Structure 1
Amino acid sequence: MLRGMATVNYFADDLEAAKDWYSELLGVTPYFTVPGGYHEFRIGDYQAELGIINRKFAPSHPDRPGGQIVNWHVDDVAATFERLLDMGATVYEPIIERGAGTGFVTASVVDPFGNVLAIMTNPHYLAVLAESRADR
C-alpha cells in the first residue's frame, strides 16, 4: 500500500532564509518553487523530496498532532484514505488537489497511536521510480 516516502515537509517563518540555509546544507538549490509558499529539494540516492513550507500554511491545532509530515506515495489517494479510516484512523487533513492539473493530491490521517500519516499521489515519485528501473 505505501510505495515509498514522497516528501518530508518542514515549516519556516522566514521561507527565503530557510531556502538559503537548506541550499547551503544540501549543496543544491530547490528544483520546484511556489513563490511565497514553498521550496522543494531533491536529495539522496533516490532523489527524495524535502519541502520547506511557509509556516502560515502549517496546521495550527495545539490539541492535535503536528510537526514534520512525511508523505507516502500511493497509487490511489481516495482508496487508501478510505482504507486508513476504515482501520481506525481519523481525518487530519482531507483529500486536497495541490494545484489544478499538476497530479499532486494529498490527504492525511492521525493513526490510532497519535501520529500523522500523510499520503499523496506524486508524478515526480513515479518518474524517479521509472528512471531508476530503467538504469538497472
Structure 2
Amino acid sequence: MLCGMATVTYYADDLESAKDWYSEFLGTAPYFTVPGGYYEFRIGDYQAELGLINRKFAPSHPDRPGGQVVNWHVDDLKATFERLLSMGAKEFEPITERGAGTGFVTAAVVDPFGNVLGIMSNPHYLEMLAQARITPSGT
C-alpha cells in the first residue's frame, strides 16, 4: 500500500542553477547535498523531500516534459502560479477547477530545467493537516 509521498525528484542539466532556482522559490537552502550529483530540500507541513539530481543520472532522457505530475498543496494557488511564471517557469497546465464547487484546483508549470511542477488547492490536504494537529487528548 502507498503510505504517502516521501521524496519527489527533479532532474537538471545545470544542477547548480536548479539548486539556486529552487532555493529562491522555496525560501530555503537544501539540507543535504552530494556535490555535483544531488541536492535535497525538506519542505511543507510534513517535511516532504524534494530532490534535485544531475540529469546524467536520470533513468531516461525524454525530449519533452511529461509523465507523472506531483501536485504540491499551496495556500494561495494563483499567487504561487504567478510567482513561478515570473521566475521563468512556463505554463504546462492553466489553473483548472477539478469538479465544480469541490475546492480542488490545480495548475502546473515546467520549471527552467524541464520538469513538471504541479501545484494544487486541496481541501482534503487541509482536513488531514487539521486532524494531525489535534493532540491525543483532543485539545
Distance 1:125 1:91 in 2: 24
In the other structure, the counterpart of 1:99 is 99
> Is the counterpart of residue 86 in structure 1 residue 86 in structure 2?
yes
Tell me the SS of whatever aligns to 2:131.
helix
1:18-38 per-residue CA deviation (whole Å, 9 max, x = no partner) reads: xxxxxxxx2xxxxxxxxxxxx
In the other structure, the counterpart of 2:17 is none
In the other structure, the counterpart of 2:123 is 123
Identity %: 73
Tell me the SS of whatever aligns to 1:124.
helix
- Give the ranges of 4+ consecutive aligned residues of structure 1 lying more than 4 Å apart after TM superposition: none
1:19-70 per-residue CA deviation (whole Å, 9 max, x = no partner) reads: xxxxxxx2xxxxxxxxxxxxxxx73497xxxxxxxxxxxxxxx853011111
Distance 1:104 1:98 in 2: 5
Distance 2:94 2:4 in 1: 30
Greater strand proportion: 1
CA RMSD of aligned residues (A): 2.4
Task: Report the CA distance between 1:86 and its aligned residue.
Answer: 0.2
TM-score (norm 1): 0.55
TM-score (norm 2): 0.54
Unaligned runs of 5+ in 2: 6-45, 47-61
Amino acid aligned to 2:3: I
In the other structure, the counterpart of 1:135 is 135
The structure number with the bigger radius of gyration is 2
Correspondences of 1:1-136 after superposition (within 5 Å)? 26=1, 43-44=3-4, 64-135=64-135
More relative contact order in 1 or in 2 (CA 8 Å, sep 6+)? 1
